[in-house]
Chain A
């Protein structure tokens, strides 16, 4: 069974640009959550999608957005990139929303220069 796949693995962007990250969950999983990981703040929750609807949102500015498709694949978008957006972005997939087990992808390392 394939795991959670995140693409791309690495990205370098310039301040002011926008970026789209992709996450393919484990087959059959319908819940996808996104986290930002930085050395200073640790793992911070961005948002959760289930059945193509955003169910929860963390405390991030509106520049951070996401969506989920009918096949449960999810994308997150960051517009008007800032240096502080440099981080490892992790996607986690779960069978449902009951917090029973979340499987993480390897992440996308975003560097903003």
Chain B
């Protein structure tokens, strides 16, 4: 069965510092991978996705993620965090043939301090 692990429940970074959020997945074939962001009381917004090809993918708001098959990881990065990036971040995995629901990690809450 597919599963996603986000090891960090809560991360605090200083504004302007770099950020890396970890995501590990368990899946028997090449997955579709996603990162979503959720602001308080809001729905989920897609930051970026990986289907195939280049393992470094660029997303919106200056985020990027790198797919590492050998480590079953899809970590999210941002070189310089802004206060507006404070939110909850979810990693998700889907089957590349579809027909099954996305499986989400438990999320990582990001706090940004001045």
Contacts and interface: CB of A to CB of B under 8 A. Distances in A.
Interface of A: 4, 6, 33, 35, 42-43, 45, 48, 55-56, 58, 90, 92, 96-107, 109
Nearest to A91: B43
Contacts of B94: 99
B43 A106 contact: yes
Interface string B35-69: 01000011111100101000000000000000000
B74 interface: no
Contact of B101 (A6, A56, A96, A107): A56
B90 interface: yes
B97 interface: yes
A6 B44 CA distance: 13
Contact of A106 (B42, B97, B103, B105): B42
B51 A100 contact: yes
Bin chain B's interface residue count. 20 to 34
Interface of B: 32, 34, 36, 41-46, 49, 51, 90, 94-107
Contact of B99 (A4, A97, A109): A97
30 contacts: A4-B43, A6-B43, A33-B101, A42-B104, A42-B107, A43-B104, A43-B107, A48-B101, A55-B99, A56-B99, A56-B101, A58-B101, A92-B102, A98-B97, A98-B99, A99-B32, A99-B94, A99-B95, A99-B96, A99-B98, A99-B102, A100-B32, A100-B51, A100-B98, A101-B46, A101-B49, A104-B43, A104-B44, A107-B43, A109-B41
Contacts of B34: 102
Contacts of A100: 32, 49, 51, 98
Contacts of B32: 99-100
Contacts of A58: 101
